[in-house]
Structure 1
Amino acid sequence: MLSWLKPSPLLEEQEQQWLLDTFLWAYEHFDGDYFRQHTQLVLPTNAFFAGQSHSVAQMAEQVFTQVKQYAGLEKWPLVLVAPELSQPQRFPRMEFANCLRGPEAQLLSSDGQVQLSYNPQQINQPQDLIASFAQGMARVMIYQGGHLPPGGEQYLDAATEVVASFFGFGVMLSNTVYQFRGGCGKCYNPYANRSSELSEQQQVFLLALFCHIKGLDKGAAHLKGHLRSYFKKATKTLRALGQTSADPLLLSLLTKEQG
């Protein structure tokens, strides 16, 4: 009789399961050891993105280099090109030794570079720029790995956002799903917004999953105000999953990585 008083879940069971499955897929295929030992929660602060620039191109290059490092792809042949120089490209074949990510990764061979570009409109919306770079690098990693995400090719775009969150960029991804137009709309620039397949609730769930696995409690502090209740609800759900899930890998991450 009082069921109507129960809070509604943040996500439907099917979408929550896909996010969990895809995060675990990323863990299994994209260097879970590096994730455990080195991946950190990247925050939109000067501590993570320091440096001064005197042009749009210089700022884009600085942010690109920083995102590349935080993603653990500093050894990958990824280069930034100006938008006007961006062209269709053939994805190169790469071979690595030791591991895929981090300074210990060894690029044994590659028959080319991967060119990424940027949206100049995002220079004044740095969280969009950071999240867009993270998405682009996640897509490169998926192509290099050659493993389709759960659900197949039709979920590839959404999976790039999961992998970008797996890289540690969940705060920026969550904050840039939707941009408020403001009171008069004069400062709103729709061309600067990044493209997102996942909803705010889905992005925040991934962020909460990342923070729960890592034993972090600072993720919500950097979210937009209206997203923090989503984070709290997702964390509660994940605590329950840590007690009830039948997935051994998920259980191991939810209960052993914290500390």
Structure 2
Amino acid sequence: MLALFKSKPLLSESEVAWLMDTFVWACEHFDGQYFLSSTQIIEPTGQYFPDQVTSVEQMAQTVFKRVRDYAGLQTWPLQLVGPANLPAEQTMPVFSFSDTMRGESAMLNVQPPHDVLLSYNPNQINQPQDLVASFAGSLATVMIYQKGALPPGGEQQIAAASDALACFMGFGVMMSNTVYQFKGGCGSCYNPYANRQAALSEAQTVFMHALVCYFKPNVDGKKHLKPHLKSIYKKARKQIESYVSDSPNPVLLMLKEQSNA
């Protein structure tokens, strides 16, 4: 009888297993030490985005540079161009890394030596959280292909892994807040073309964000989430705490020990 009153877990065991495996994959291939020492939980506030801009182009460039730097990719040859200037096809250079791959000290060898061109959706200028999340997802996808390490589940999971990796880089608040956009009352202000294309569900994205925050104990990861996501975050934390406490995975155990040091 008491079982009737037990709350249902936020995610299924298979969903949790994939997200946990993907988090470990991110630690192993995308600089877990940088994650511990330097990754911040980026919030949609003036503290993280203090710049004043006067044009669409300046807005896009400014936000892109902020996202790039928060991701630790400031030494990567990445260039943002307007949508009209993005070629239909481009030859991607191949990066090799002499030591760490992220942060100001990252040293890359790029062959052939030219920039990776990225662009933006002008419709998102009035939805800055979507713009930040889209940039974070695009950078994550570039990272996956440059590293050449497929996520759990293989190539068919790259889109979902890009969302997860964007959370791993600290953008989980914006990733979670932009999975689904409410149309509002009459829908007159709703622009479907401004929404980012999410590969993870709301619950899965919030779970990954909560998992990142689990190893950042001084951060309130739910503070800037949309109101309806805060209860999801709390359920995610409970499921994460239970999983990590029972997990023999050495990466999770190491992260837990170091984050609590």
- TM-score band (shorter)? over 0.9
Partner of 1:164: 166
Partner of 1:35: 35
Mean alpha-carbon deviation: is it higher for 49-58 or for 127-136?
Answer: 49-58
Query: Residue type matched to 1:200 in 2?
Result: E
Distance 2:241 2:184 in 1: 36
Distance 1:258 1:175 in 2: 28
Secondary structure at the counterpart of residue 167 of structure 1: helix
1:118-174 alpha-carbon deviations (Å, 9 max, x no partner): 000000000000000000000000000001100011101000001101110000000
Distance 1:110 1:258 in 2: 41
Secondary structure at the counterpart of residue 79 of structure 2: strand
Secondary structure at the counterpart of residue 130 of structure 1: helix
Runs (4 or more) in structure 1 with deviation over 6 Å come to none
Secondary structure at the counterpart of residue 222 of structure 1: coil
Partner of 2:214: 212
Alignment of 1:1-259 (within 5 A): 1-87=1-87, 88-111=89-112, 112-258=114-260
Secondary structure at the counterpart of residue 108 of structure 1: strand
Q: Report the alpha carbon displacement of residue 109 of structure 1 after superposing the two structures with TM.
A: 3.3
Segments of structure 1 that go 5 or more residues without pairing to the other structure are: none
Mean alpha-carbon deviation: is it higher for 92-101 or for 170-179?
Answer: 92-101
Question: Is the 2:41–2:219 contact (alpha carbons within 8 Å) kept by the matching residues of 1?
Answer: no
Segments of structure 2 that go 5 or more residues without pairing to the other structure are: none
Distance 2:110 2:85 in 1: 25
Mean alpha-carbon deviation: is it higher for 75-84 or for 212-221?
Answer: 212-221
Question: Is the 1:166–1:210 contact (alpha carbons within 8 Å) kept by the matching residues of 2?
Answer: yes
Mean alpha-carbon deviation: is it higher for 152-161 or for 96-105?
Answer: 96-105
Q: Report the alpha carbon displacement of residue 256 of structure 1 after superposing the two structures with TM.
A: 3.4
Distance 2:198 2:218 in 1: 25
Q: Report the alpha carbon displacement of residue 94 of structure 1 after superposing the two structures with TM.
A: 1.5
Query: Residue type matched to 1:205 in 2?
Result: F
Q: CA RMSD in A?
A: 1.1
Mean alpha-carbon deviation: is it higher for 106-115 or for 142-151?
Answer: 106-115
Secondary structure at the counterpart of residue 179 of structure 1: coil
Q: Report the alpha carbon displacement of residue 23 of structure 1 after superposing the two structures with TM.
A: 0.9
Distance 2:74 2:37 in 1: 16
Q: Report the alpha carbon displacement of residue 37 of structure 1 after superposing the two structures with TM.
A: 0.8
Secondary structure at the counterpart of residue 84 of structure 1: helix
Q: Report the alpha carbon displacement of residue 255 of structure 1 after superposing the two structures with TM.
A: 4.2
Query: Residue type matched to 1:43 in 2?
Result: E
Secondary structure at the counterpart of residue 218 of structure 2: coil
Secondary structure at the counterpart of residue 95 of structure 1: strand
Question: Is the 2:93–2:110 contact (alpha carbons within 8 Å) kept by the matching residues of 1?
Answer: no
Q: Tell me the matched-pair count.
A: 259
Distance 1:180 1:226 in 2: 12
Distance 2:53 2:183 in 1: 27
Give the TM-score, by structure 1 length: 0.97
Distance 2:51 2:122 in 1: 18
